Amino acid sequence: MNATRNKTPTTITRVQQNLLASTERKVLDWLCARMPNWVMPDLLTALGLAGAALVLAGYASSLSDEQWLWLCIVGYVIHWFGDSMDGSLARFRHIERPRYGYFLDHSCDGIATLLILLGIGLSPYVRLDVALIALVGYLLLSVHAFLAVRVFGEMRLSYLAAGPTELRVILIGLTLAMLVFGDSDRNLGVMTGFDYFVGGVGIVLIALFVIQTIKTSRALASVDPR
């Protein structure tokens, strides 16, 4: 048991091919070099979760006043900063804790995703059942990424040239569209463009999970023949 716990984890290759990856990496490296010593990765992880909680609060509060949607945008920026900087700072300072960091980071990612999509579903702009479809799609694709770490030693951080940062940009755009075009008094029994957009994203994510599962299964079948 102890030997298993103390075993050095296998090196994980990060596969990141999203559109903003290069620019984002330069920004994160610049920030890491200027981060005060008292700022530690765990603090940034907690900050990212706090940002997701602000997103939830903003969407839920938009039931009473659409101007609360601006809080969501602030929350998305804080969530990006905390979620993107925690691992980057650990690697920059060479203070990685591979098993602890991997477990905590992705556990918090799951909670943050739940908070954000729950908030969208509680807002007057997107139906809760539609938001849950998007949540299922995101979590299924996350499951595929975690399984790929186990079977290939690869952590895929992007699909179709999009990763978490691109999704946040899309969600910020969606929130701004809610401010301009949204109807807070809408009939939730009728589907709107916001519902079709969020539901469509969820269906695309589910389809990607199915396609990637088939491709990975075929690749593994050739590696592990009968």
| Tens digit of each residue's pLDDT (9 = 90 or more) over 140-175 | 988 988 888 888 777 777 677 778 888 899 999 999
Q: Decide if 90 contacts 29 (C-beta within 8 A).
A: no
- Quick check: is 6 in a domain? no
Q: Which residues contact 111 (CB under 8 A, 6 or more apart)?
A: 49, 52
- Quick check: is 2 in a domain? no
- Quick check: is 175 in a domain? yes
Number of domains, the chain: 1
Structural domain for 208, as ranges: 11-223
CATH of the domain at 206: 1.20.120.1760
- Quick check: is 3 in a domain? no
pLDDT higher than 70, residue 7? no
Mean residue pLDDT of the chain comes to 88
Q: What is the pTM of this model?
A: 0.87
- Quick check: is 1 in a domain? no
Angle, CA of 16, 20 and 21, to the nearest 5° = 35
- Quick check: is 185 in a domain? yes
From 15, 37, 26, select the one nearest 161 (Cα to Cα).
15
- Quick check: is 159 in a domain? yes
| Tens digit of each residue's pLDDT (9 = 90 or more) over 13-25 | 776 677 788 888 8
Strand 13-15 relative to strand 154-156, pairing? parallel
| Tens digit of each residue's pLDDT (9 = 90 or more) over 61-107 | 999 999 999 999 999 999 999 999 999 999 999 998 888 988 999 89
- Quick check: is 206 in a domain? yes
